Structure formats: C-alpha cells, structure tokens
Amino acid sequence: MKMKHLLKEHIKEYINPFPNRYTRGMFEIRVLPHEDLDYDDTIKYWRMFKKFPNDFAAAAISLLPQDVEFVSYDHLNNIILGNKS
C-alpha cells in the first residue's frame, strides 16, 4: 500500500497545476504534463499515464481544488469532469 502512495505522490510532480475556476457548475479539466518538464520527463509522464492508469488518475484527482467535487475521469482523453458547488 505504501508503494502506491509513493507512486501517486511522484506522478503529481509531473502534472500541470489545474487553473482556478470561479463560477459554479460542471466543467472539464484537461490533465496535461507540467510546463517545466523537459523532453525526457514528458516521455516519463506519458509512460506513467499508460503503465499506471489507476495511480495516474488518483494523482490527478488529488490535485483538484477543495471546492471542486470529482465526478468522473475519462482515461482515453485524459480529462477530469468536476463540479464546483
């Protein structure tokens, strides 16, 4: 179980922070590589996306702002559907 937690924390470092949203309602958040990644790190990002889909999704969802409720994650398009109440 500890290994999963470490992997999730490691993956979070590769994901670009999500923008703040000030209006309420449902919206999509595209999960993208962090802007500061070099070519090799971008390759690692996509490798983790493909090899560890559950950990990748958990890492991305954990980055959602506190006021955004997770609704679903589209793994094929790498998009989180959230609801701000």
**Which pTM was predicted?**
0.86
Beta bridge partners of 72: 81
22 close to 72: Cβ distance less than 8 angstroms: no
DSSP track, 16-59? PPPPP--S-EEEEEE--B-TT--HHHHHHHHHHHHH-HHHHHHH
Is the predicted pLDDT of residue 9 greater than 60, yes or no?
yes
Q: What is the mean pLDDT of residues 60-83?
A: 94
16 close to 42: Cβ distance less than 8 angstroms: no
Six-digit token pair at 47? 């490798």
Is the predicted pLDDT of residue 67 greater than 70, yes or no?
yes
Q: What is the pLDDT of residues 10-60, one digit of tens each?
A: 999 999 999 887 789 999 999 999 999 999 999 999 999 999 999 999 999
Closest to 21 measured CA to CA, from 13, 32, 29, 33: 29
